[in-house]
Amino acid sequence: MLTYPQIDPVIFKVGPLAVRWYGLMYVISFFCCLFLCRYQLKEKNLKELYPFLENLLFYSFLGLVIGARLGFCFFYYPDYFFKNPLEIIAIWKGGMSFHGGLIGSVLAGYIYIKKNGQSFLWWADLIVVTAPIGLFFGRIGNFINGELYGKPSNLPWAMIFPEGGPIPRHPVQLYECLVTGLFLFLFMWNLRKKEWPYGTKLAIFLILYGTLRFLFEFLREPAQSFNLFLGWMTMGQFLCLIMIISGILLLYFLRKDFIKKYL
Protein backbone atom coordinates (compact mmCIF):
# COMPACT_ATOMS: atom_id res chain seq x y z
CA MET A 1 0.00 0.00 0.00
CA LEU A 2 1.23 3.50 -0.87
CA THR A 3 0.89 6.46 1.46
CA TYR A 4 -1.46 9.15 0.23
CA PRO A 5 0.46 12.45 0.16
CA GLN A 6 -1.34 14.90 2.42
CA ILE A 7 -1.23 18.03 0.26
CA ASP A 8 -3.14 21.04 1.49
CA PRO A 9 -5.75 21.82 -1.23
CA VAL A 10 -5.24 25.53 -0.43
CA ILE A 11 -2.01 26.99 -1.80
CA PHE A 12 -2.32 30.25 0.11
CA LYS A 13 -4.90 32.65 1.48
CA VAL A 14 -5.25 36.41 1.19
CA GLY A 15 -7.89 37.38 3.72
CA PRO A 16 -11.07 35.42 2.89
CA LEU A 17 -9.73 34.55 -0.58
CA ALA A 18 -8.20 31.09 -0.88
CA VAL A 19 -6.17 30.06 -3.91
CA ARG A 20 -6.59 26.31 -4.40
CA TRP A 21 -4.61 23.77 -6.37
CA TYR A 22 -7.79 22.63 -8.14
CA GLY A 23 -8.50 26.12 -9.41
CA LEU A 24 -4.88 26.50 -10.48
CA MET A 25 -5.25 23.32 -12.56
CA TYR A 26 -8.05 25.01 -14.53
CA VAL A 27 -5.86 28.03 -15.20
CA ILE A 28 -2.89 25.89 -16.28
CA SER A 29 -5.18 23.86 -18.55
CA PHE A 30 -6.51 27.02 -20.20
CA PHE A 31 -3.06 28.36 -21.03
CA CYS A 32 -1.81 24.96 -22.23
CA CYS A 33 -4.80 24.75 -24.56
CA LEU A 34 -4.18 28.30 -25.77
CA PHE A 35 -0.51 27.61 -26.44
CA LEU A 36 -1.20 24.34 -28.30
CA CYS A 37 -3.99 25.86 -30.39
CA ARG A 38 -1.81 28.83 -31.33
CA TYR A 39 0.91 26.35 -32.29
CA GLN A 40 -1.53 24.61 -34.66
CA LEU A 41 -2.58 27.90 -36.23
CA LYS A 42 1.08 28.71 -36.74
CA GLU A 43 1.54 25.35 -38.47
CA LYS A 44 -1.35 26.23 -40.77
CA ASN A 45 0.00 29.76 -41.43
CA LEU A 46 -3.12 31.25 -39.86
CA LYS A 47 -1.64 33.55 -37.25
CA GLU A 48 -4.26 36.16 -38.12
CA LEU A 49 -6.76 33.93 -36.27
CA TYR A 50 -4.97 34.33 -32.92
CA PRO A 51 -7.38 37.05 -31.64
CA PHE A 52 -10.43 34.98 -32.61
CA LEU A 53 -8.94 31.93 -30.91
CA GLU A 54 -8.28 33.83 -27.69
CA ASN A 55 -11.86 35.12 -27.56
CA LEU A 56 -13.25 31.70 -28.41
CA LEU A 57 -11.27 29.99 -25.64
CA PHE A 58 -12.29 32.67 -23.15
CA TYR A 59 -16.01 32.17 -23.79
CA SER A 60 -15.62 28.40 -23.98
CA PHE A 61 -13.77 28.43 -20.66
CA LEU A 62 -16.61 30.40 -19.05
CA GLY A 63 -19.08 27.91 -20.46
CA LEU A 64 -16.95 25.06 -19.16
CA VAL A 65 -16.86 26.38 -15.59
CA ILE A 66 -20.59 27.16 -15.50
CA GLY A 67 -21.52 23.88 -17.17
CA ALA A 68 -19.20 21.85 -14.94
CA ARG A 69 -20.78 23.27 -11.81
CA LEU A 70 -24.37 22.90 -13.03
CA GLY A 71 -23.60 19.40 -14.26
CA PHE A 72 -22.28 18.36 -10.85
CA CYS A 73 -25.31 19.83 -9.10
CA PHE A 74 -28.03 18.40 -11.31
CA PHE A 75 -26.48 15.25 -12.78
CA TYR A 76 -25.31 13.88 -9.45
CA TYR A 77 -27.13 15.57 -6.55
CA PRO A 78 -30.34 17.11 -7.94
CA ASP A 79 -32.41 16.55 -4.80
CA TYR A 80 -29.97 18.46 -2.60
CA PHE A 81 -29.43 21.40 -4.92
CA PHE A 82 -33.11 21.82 -5.78
CA LYS A 83 -33.71 22.20 -2.04
CA ASN A 84 -30.62 24.39 -1.54
CA PRO A 85 -30.29 26.46 -4.76
CA LEU A 86 -27.92 29.01 -3.20
CA GLU A 87 -25.38 26.21 -2.76
CA ILE A 88 -25.04 26.03 -6.55
CA ILE A 89 -22.76 29.07 -6.54
CA ALA A 90 -20.60 27.72 -3.70
CA ILE A 91 -17.93 26.42 -6.07
CA TRP A 92 -15.27 26.87 -3.37
CA LYS A 93 -16.76 23.81 -1.67
CA GLY A 94 -15.83 21.72 -4.71
CA GLY A 95 -17.93 19.77 -7.15
CA MET A 96 -17.43 19.98 -10.93
CA SER A 97 -18.59 17.62 -13.67
CA PHE A 98 -16.60 16.87 -16.82
CA HIS A 99 -19.71 16.12 -18.84
CA GLY A 100 -21.40 19.32 -17.70
CA GLY A 101 -18.24 21.25 -18.54
CA LEU A 102 -18.13 19.65 -21.98
CA ILE A 103 -21.72 20.64 -22.70
CA GLY A 104 -21.17 24.18 -21.42
CA SER A 105 -17.98 24.76 -23.40
CA VAL A 106 -19.46 23.32 -26.61
CA LEU A 107 -22.58 25.49 -26.34
CA ALA A 108 -20.62 28.66 -25.57
CA GLY A 109 -18.11 27.94 -28.32
CA TYR A 110 -20.82 27.10 -30.85
CA ILE A 111 -22.70 30.34 -30.20
CA TYR A 112 -19.54 32.45 -30.53
CA ILE A 113 -18.30 30.64 -33.64
CA LYS A 114 -21.60 30.76 -35.52
CA LYS A 115 -22.16 34.39 -34.51
CA ASN A 116 -18.91 35.18 -36.31
CA GLY A 117 -19.69 33.06 -39.36
CA GLN A 118 -16.98 30.47 -38.74
CA SER A 119 -17.05 26.66 -39.04
CA PHE A 120 -17.80 25.04 -35.69
CA LEU A 121 -16.44 21.65 -36.74
CA TRP A 122 -13.14 23.14 -37.97
CA TRP A 123 -12.55 24.91 -34.67
CA ALA A 124 -13.77 21.92 -32.68
CA ASP A 125 -11.17 19.69 -34.33
CA LEU A 126 -8.45 22.24 -33.64
CA ILE A 127 -9.30 22.51 -29.95
CA VAL A 128 -10.33 18.95 -29.13
CA VAL A 129 -6.86 17.50 -29.82
CA THR A 130 -5.65 19.62 -26.88
CA ALA A 131 -8.56 18.76 -24.54
CA PRO A 132 -6.93 15.73 -22.84
CA ILE A 133 -4.18 17.95 -21.41
CA GLY A 134 -6.92 19.67 -19.41
CA LEU A 135 -8.12 16.27 -18.21
CA PHE A 136 -4.56 15.49 -17.12
CA PHE A 137 -4.32 18.54 -14.88
CA GLY A 138 -7.92 18.22 -13.72
CA ARG A 139 -7.34 14.72 -12.37
CA ILE A 140 -4.22 15.92 -10.58
CA GLY A 141 -6.45 18.49 -8.89
CA ASN A 142 -8.92 15.77 -7.93
CA PHE A 143 -6.10 13.71 -6.45
CA ILE A 144 -4.82 16.62 -4.37
CA ASN A 145 -8.37 17.21 -3.10
CA GLY A 146 -8.63 13.53 -2.17
CA GLU A 147 -11.89 13.25 -4.12
CA LEU A 148 -13.20 10.85 -6.78
CA TYR A 149 -11.25 8.01 -5.21
CA GLY A 150 -11.74 4.41 -6.23
CA LYS A 151 -13.28 1.32 -4.75
CA PRO A 152 -11.49 -0.79 -2.11
CA SER A 153 -8.39 -2.56 -3.39
CA ASN A 154 -5.58 -4.75 -2.07
CA LEU A 155 -3.17 -3.84 -4.86
CA PRO A 156 0.31 -2.62 -3.81
CA TRP A 157 -0.39 0.92 -5.02
CA ALA A 158 -3.77 1.29 -3.28
CA MET A 159 -4.08 4.30 -0.95
CA ILE A 160 -6.09 5.35 2.07
CA PHE A 161 -7.85 8.60 1.20
CA PRO A 162 -8.81 11.04 3.97
CA GLU A 163 -12.53 10.88 3.16
CA GLY A 164 -12.57 7.25 2.05
CA GLY A 165 -12.37 5.62 5.46
CA PRO A 166 -9.59 3.31 6.68
CA ILE A 167 -9.75 1.07 3.60
CA PRO A 168 -7.07 1.16 0.85
CA ARG A 169 -8.61 2.22 -2.45
CA HIS A 170 -7.75 2.49 -6.14
CA PRO A 171 -6.15 5.88 -6.93
CA VAL A 172 -8.47 6.19 -9.92
CA GLN A 173 -7.59 9.86 -10.34
CA LEU A 174 -4.02 8.84 -11.24
CA TYR A 175 -5.21 6.10 -13.58
CA GLU A 176 -7.34 8.60 -15.48
CA CYS A 177 -4.63 11.25 -15.29
CA LEU A 178 -2.32 8.97 -17.25
CA VAL A 179 -4.75 7.23 -19.61
CA THR A 180 -7.50 9.77 -20.41
CA GLY A 181 -5.06 12.62 -19.86
CA LEU A 182 -1.50 12.01 -20.99
CA PHE A 183 -1.91 9.00 -23.29
CA LEU A 184 -5.08 10.28 -24.93
CA PHE A 185 -3.43 13.65 -25.46
CA LEU A 186 -0.44 12.05 -27.19
CA PHE A 187 -2.80 10.06 -29.41
CA MET A 188 -5.06 13.00 -30.31
CA TRP A 189 -2.13 15.38 -30.82
CA ASN A 190 -0.65 12.94 -33.32
CA LEU A 191 -3.88 13.26 -35.35
CA ARG A 192 -3.79 17.04 -35.63
CA LYS A 193 -2.37 17.10 -39.19
CA LYS A 194 -4.75 14.49 -40.57
CA GLU A 195 -6.76 15.98 -43.43
CA TRP A 196 -10.06 14.41 -42.54
CA PRO A 197 -13.57 15.88 -42.89
CA TYR A 198 -14.11 18.57 -40.25
CA GLY A 199 -15.57 17.05 -37.09
CA THR A 200 -13.84 13.69 -37.40
CA LYS A 201 -11.34 14.41 -34.61
CA LEU A 202 -14.15 15.62 -32.39
CA ALA A 203 -16.04 12.37 -33.00
CA ILE A 204 -12.93 10.28 -32.26
CA PHE A 205 -12.40 12.12 -28.98
CA LEU A 206 -16.02 11.60 -27.92
CA ILE A 207 -15.82 7.88 -28.63
CA LEU A 208 -12.39 7.27 -27.09
CA TYR A 209 -12.83 9.34 -23.95
CA GLY A 210 -16.37 8.05 -23.45
CA THR A 211 -15.17 4.45 -23.70
CA LEU A 212 -12.14 4.89 -21.43
CA ARG A 213 -14.09 6.83 -18.80
CA PHE A 214 -16.91 4.25 -18.92
CA LEU A 215 -14.40 1.51 -18.07
CA PHE A 216 -12.69 3.47 -15.28
CA GLU A 217 -16.06 4.12 -13.66
CA PHE A 218 -16.11 0.45 -12.64
CA LEU A 219 -13.17 1.19 -10.34
CA ARG A 220 -14.51 4.48 -8.96
CA GLU A 221 -16.66 4.83 -5.86
CA PRO A 222 -20.03 6.00 -7.27
CA ALA A 223 -20.87 9.66 -6.55
CA GLN A 224 -24.58 10.30 -6.95
CA SER A 225 -27.68 10.73 -4.81
CA PHE A 226 -29.99 8.20 -6.51
CA ASN A 227 -30.09 4.57 -7.51
CA LEU A 228 -27.74 3.24 -10.16
CA PHE A 229 -29.13 2.82 -13.67
CA LEU A 230 -30.12 -0.81 -14.28
CA GLY A 231 -28.71 -1.55 -10.84
CA TRP A 232 -25.06 -1.18 -11.92
CA MET A 233 -24.52 1.82 -14.19
CA THR A 234 -23.39 5.11 -12.65
CA MET A 235 -24.44 8.53 -13.88
CA GLY A 236 -20.91 8.98 -15.22
CA GLN A 237 -21.25 5.80 -17.28
CA PHE A 238 -24.67 6.85 -18.56
CA LEU A 239 -23.27 10.20 -19.71
CA CYS A 240 -20.31 8.43 -21.31
CA LEU A 241 -22.72 6.27 -23.31
CA ILE A 242 -24.31 9.45 -24.61
CA MET A 243 -20.82 10.69 -25.57
CA ILE A 244 -20.01 7.47 -27.41
CA ILE A 245 -23.34 7.42 -29.27
CA SER A 246 -22.93 11.12 -30.15
CA GLY A 247 -19.45 10.44 -31.57
CA ILE A 248 -20.70 7.50 -33.65
CA LEU A 249 -23.66 9.50 -34.97
CA LEU A 250 -21.37 12.42 -35.81
CA LEU A 251 -19.12 10.13 -37.85
CA TYR A 252 -22.16 8.69 -39.63
CA PHE A 253 -23.63 12.07 -40.52
CA LEU A 254 -20.24 13.40 -41.60
CA ARG A 255 -20.00 10.56 -44.11
CA LYS A 256 -23.46 11.47 -45.39
CA ASP A 257 -22.55 15.18 -45.61
CA PHE A 258 -25.78 15.79 -43.74
CA ILE A 259 -24.52 17.80 -40.80
CA LYS A 260 -21.93 20.13 -42.33
CA LYS A 261 -24.39 22.85 -43.30
CA TYR A 262 -25.52 23.15 -39.68
CA LEU A 263 -22.10 23.04 -37.99
Per the annotation, where are the binding residues?
A: 139
DSSP state of 204: H
207 within 8 A of 247, measured Cβ to Cβ = yes
142 within 8 A of 174, measured Cβ to Cβ = no
Buried b / exposed e over 13-42, threshold 16 CB at 10 Å, is: eeeeeeebbbbebbebbbebbbebbbebbe
CA distance 249 to 256: 11
| 184 sits in which H/E element | helix 184-189
